[in-house]
Structure 1
């Protein structure tokens, strides 16, 4: 079967030129793409196609096809494949490559697909339950091979400690086993690296703190002894340093060694083919170290920082990390700082807000609009780095700290500390409160006199809560909640729970489609969205009324770019149809496009 041409309104070979070869006149304007090799380097390169009636779908069906190539190793977010979206109206469509980066962790090497449409439509938040019955701290939500995994801490017994859980739908979670048998309380970082899921254990109280201080049950010490097969006295005295483990399936984890002597391994990252870990050194309370995995349980230190480090993220060829400030140093130099690693050395990028008083901790990193964004404490502001300069993008309501950042269906979301809120960026410096998870009554007078940019006294809320992780799974945005303080012990309420939310309509492919050349197709067909990879249907949205979604916008069609970031990879043989392709047509286009891989 020949490639269909019925209602083909755009055909960009992107090999030699950016012209429209469909005959519809929708010629592209090249913004830095290497058209000799069809390479988009993820640094703003894209093809702009000015809007026209033929590529403005409105309420109608449409199909987008492209031949994509990505590398195995990552040093940038994967980026957007195509977008025609008005962010001010939240109207249009987005088709993107993505990977999990929940909690403090950077993205993984997995390449998942997200296809979404929107016309300013929001669903309701839904409760997905507690991964562990007594867990009040969740660190990370990570997607791996079609499933959502959660890690956390602060449970009531060693039998529950240091487990990872898998979401199986509704409010139910499945136990995926314990990571090792060291006396650690939880699992912090998780990341997908070269086809495997890795997790890192953590200990809130330091490596040598007595376990009798860590639990609320008088049976904790005896239970720990039985679990580790050691005498009680020996189990209590054993130092508990964080270790990294690789998931083998079911409830089995392989020990990948101990990166230094760090009671808390806060984050994991995949960067240029290697696995990195970050954590504070127990012997030096104002030091953190980054480590790179050499294999065979061997970790090599590759960076040292002046205080406790938390998040990592990759962007534009560098690995970013951030750490707390040091109050003993003067205000100008003692604040929280961001550093960037190019594979050889770390560059100090300074304090995003200039002083310790304005930014003394950083707990989140995220990429949106082609820039790395930083979530700060104690003013609850998000700052982005553009052209080597920090730019303030605004305050997230009455929050004290921005604890999570994520892009979802063309918009940027932030999770915060105090009441476990989620905000959405509506304009450059305006953030809209989307949800408050803390279900306890708050004294209405506690916010009296609140002035934006002024610190919130600690005693205004007896026990703070936070949105600890945001990640996209199954076409929805998932959020986890946590207690802020390790001493919080109630099993009830919203802490330690997971929630989900849908904006617009979305189809997703939540498995790694792998590196190399892949043919991808996004189709809006009647009441559903569909995703195809190499001719096979791999994702479908739920049903919706197409009359509810007018996708008309005067914004251009952007090939290899969108609201998150420009594509990091190669793309050619791009087609846009103003109708829905069927399975047979998608298969035909896939087969006919294969010859273009070799040019």
Structure 2
């Protein structure tokens, strides 16, 4: 027979419910004599109370107010053990430098927790929810998959990601944006979104504040480069011309603000008649509103901005044309001129300075391509390291981070190379018969790349194999057509073209993205598949939604291992706690954080 419950003492407070008074006594329950009270000195009682409180605080606490009536199918508390709390004896492997203390820590590429598919929930075509607590350090990181289960051979699986796409030619197309994608080898037809303004090409693209922004080259007399945004109705809205030069050449987001660089693009470099607009660019602007731009300064000796990227919390910019230039925007709004890479053996009578163009951040350093000699350089914040020349190429044009590795596009071989260490570059194959690999980006698990001279789009098949998807620009009687740069918005991949100036898009599987930089510190996140919708939540607030195509269900049954902290978008470089998978769609109420 259970022991009786002792009556409690309460004091009624006006306007309040009954509140128990704590007295310096300890209630003891005995099976044979029932409840009785042990009177203690106040100091001893307070010490016991503090001890009890501390013990309660050590208990694992749920990240979200989820219902106990429908427990998760899998839960990794990630406190002192990588094990699934619901299957503590199930196999799990710590890869690379991943560690688990009071949280899981993933310090970079090659670090993750791996769980065999046989010990993970079979998600199939049904509803499900993923929840976790994620910690972002300040400045640039992290970027990579929080959790993924994806087979690149069958193109089936899911990803929950914090994604940065930098070095997509001259722009940083996204910065630490929350992304949730599913796929079952589905690829939509390509959609033509028309030509923004009088664009010869969309030189720069970025997703910012849930909007796609495009910077154009408009080279004719009386024209200038503009910024346009794509509205919800599919129309291009003119955001104005920041200056009088013929191009907006680069974009990047910093501290929730959109920055653009301008330039006088030498159109003859694409074997087209030179632009009559001789106004120089080389300035950086910050967007205030449509048609309003704040001038952030002229970079000394720069005719056109070659690239923009965020590194160590600062915006960095480079010069497209000679002389080489590399600059950092300081917190007080001034620009600092930084060193540029040096050639080890420059030709007699030539400058040893090497231009840096496309820039990306990987493994805690800034990596830059160059139009001077076909090398890649690494900047640690103080000095440059030459990482070697890629084959017989003279230009390194673009970057992508795919499955935890760094890939680089080149001219004139039309090949992609993978970085395997200083002066170690692995040839990953040529894209058809093309000469230049332009924008590259990982879209819902697939590495896609655009090319010159036929403006074709390719999909990486592994090792040295690439599959041609389409040709986007068929302008007749020109030498070069370019599939120039790439960006993602609301689950679609966008690509700009030259010389038609049209913007195209395609969709792999289904995905939803929150196009704003994920905040620093610890936050609750949730990704939900419910019916034909995908939903994203941050701290209990729904931040994004997308529809799943209605042609047929996307089946996520997979034999691929589940990876925590890594996937096709790269390694997380961040921290995780209390990761859960539910085989149902949690409600908004259940997803509210515990206060």
TM class, shorter-chain normalised? Answer: 0.7 to 0.9
CA distance in 2, matches of 1:407, 1:480: 16
CA distance in 1, matches of 2:185, 2:211: 28
1:458 aligns to what? Answer: none
Matched-pair contact (CA < 8 Å) for 1:109–1:193: no
Q: Tell me whether 1:416 sits opposite 2:463 in the alignment.
A: no
CA distance in 2, matches of 1:106, 1:4: 46
The runs of 5 or more residues in structure 1 that have no matched partner are 207-211, 221-235, 326-334, 442-460, 484-494, 595-599
SS at the partner of 2:340?
Answer: strand
Q: Tell me whether 1:391 sits opposite 2:426 in the alignment.
A: yes
Q: Summarize deviations over 1:126-158 as a string: whole Å, max 9, x none.
A: 0111111x2112211101111110012133344
Matched-pair contact (CA < 8 Å) for 1:104–1:266: no
| TM-score, L = length of structure 2 | 0.81
1:125 aligns to what? Answer: 190
SS at the partner of 1:585?
Answer: coil
CA distance in 1, matches of 2:104, 2:240: 45
CA distance in 1, matches of 2:375, 2:206: 26
CA distance in 2, matches of 1:291, 1:462: 36
| TM-score, L = length of structure 1 | 0.81
CA distance in 2, matches of 1:474, 1:2: 28
Structure 1 residues 502 and 280, CA, compared in 2 at 3 Å: closer, same or farther?
closer
2:591 to 569, 586, 589: 586
CA distance in 2, matches of 1:299, 1:508: 33
Q: Tell me whether 1:257 sits opposite 2:297 in the alignment.
A: yes
Larger gyration radius, structure 1 or structure 2:
2
Structure 1 residues 103 and 289, CA, compared in 2 at 3 Å: closer, same or farther?
same
Matched-pair contact (CA < 8 Å) for 1:42–1:79: no
SS at the partner of 2:590?
Answer: helix
Q: Tell me whether 1:309 sits opposite 2:356 in the alignment.
A: yes
1:209 aligns to what? Answer: none
2:246 aligns to what? Answer: 185
SS at the partner of 1:310?
Answer: coil
The runs of 5 or more residues in structure 2 that have no matched partner are 1-64, 268-272, 342-352
Q: How far did 1:308 drift?
A: 4.4
Matched-pair contact (CA < 8 Å) for 1:202–1:263: yes
Matched-pair contact (CA < 8 Å) for 2:164–2:177: yes
- For these two proteins, the number of residue pairs brought into alignment is 512
SS at the partner of 2:305?
Answer: coil
Q: How does 1:129-528 map to 2 (within 5 A)?
A: 129-132=194-197, 134-158=198-222, 160-169=223-232, 171-180=234-243, 183-205=244-266, 214-215=275-276, 240-280=280-320, 285=322, 287-305=323-341, 306-325=353-372, 335-353=373-391, 358-388=392-422, 389-440=424-475, 462-483=478-499, 495-528=500-533
Q: How far did 1:90 drift?
A: 0.2
Q: How far did 1:369 drift?
A: 1.7
Q: How far did 1:102 drift?
A: 6.7
Q: How far did 1:170 drift?
A: 5.1
CA distance in 1, matches of 2:185, 2:405: 24
CA distance in 1, matches of 2:81, 2:448: 37
Q: How far did 1:364 drift?
A: 0.9
1:66 aligns to what? Answer: 132
Matched-pair contact (CA < 8 Å) for 1:82–1:561: yes
Q: How far did 1:290 drift?
A: 0.9
Structure 1 residues 256 and 323, CA, compared in 2 at 3 Å: closer, same or farther?
same
Q: How far did 1:416 drift?
A: 0.5
Matched-pair contact (CA < 8 Å) for 1:148–1:167: yes
1:38 aligns to what? Answer: 104
Matched-pair contact (CA < 8 Å) for 1:418–1:465: yes
1:454 aligns to what? Answer: none
Q: How far did 1:191 drift?
A: 0.2
CA distance in 1, matches of 2:264, 2:303: 5
Q: Summarize deviations over 1:140-196 as a string: whole Å, max 9, x none.
A: 1101111110012133344x413211111454211112213xx42111111001221
Q: Summarize deviations over 1:364-404 as a string: whole Å, max 9, x none.
A: 11211212111011111000102442111111111110011
Q: Summarize deviations over 1:254-284 as a string: whole Å, max 9, x none.
A: 1111122111111111100111100045xxx
SS at the partner of 1:52?
Answer: helix
Q: How does 1:528-547 map to 2 (within 5 A)?
A: 528-545=533-550
Q: Tell me whether 1:571 sits opposite 2:576 in the alignment.
A: yes
Greater displacement, 5-14 / 84-93: 5-14
Structure 1 residues 464 and 213, CA, compared in 2 at 3 Å: closer, same or farther?
closer
CA distance in 2, matches of 1:272, 1:308: 21
Matched-pair contact (CA < 8 Å) for 1:140–1:151: yes
CA distance in 2, matches of 1:309, 1:153: 21
Structure 1 residues 381 and 517, CA, compared in 2 at 3 Å: closer, same or farther?
same
SS at the partner of 2:401?
Answer: strand
CA distance in 2, matches of 1:170, 1:387: 46
Indicate the RMSD between aligned Cα atoms, in angstroms. Answer: 2.3
Q: Summarize deviations over 1:411-446 as a string: whole Å, max 9, x none.
A: 1011111111111112221111112012246xxxxx
Q: Summarize deviations over 1:527-579 as a string: whole Å, max 9, x none.
A: 22221111122222214459532211111111111112110211111011122
Matched-pair contact (CA < 8 Å) for 2:165–2:174: no
Structure 1 residues 553 and 402, CA, compared in 2 at 3 Å: closer, same or farther?
same
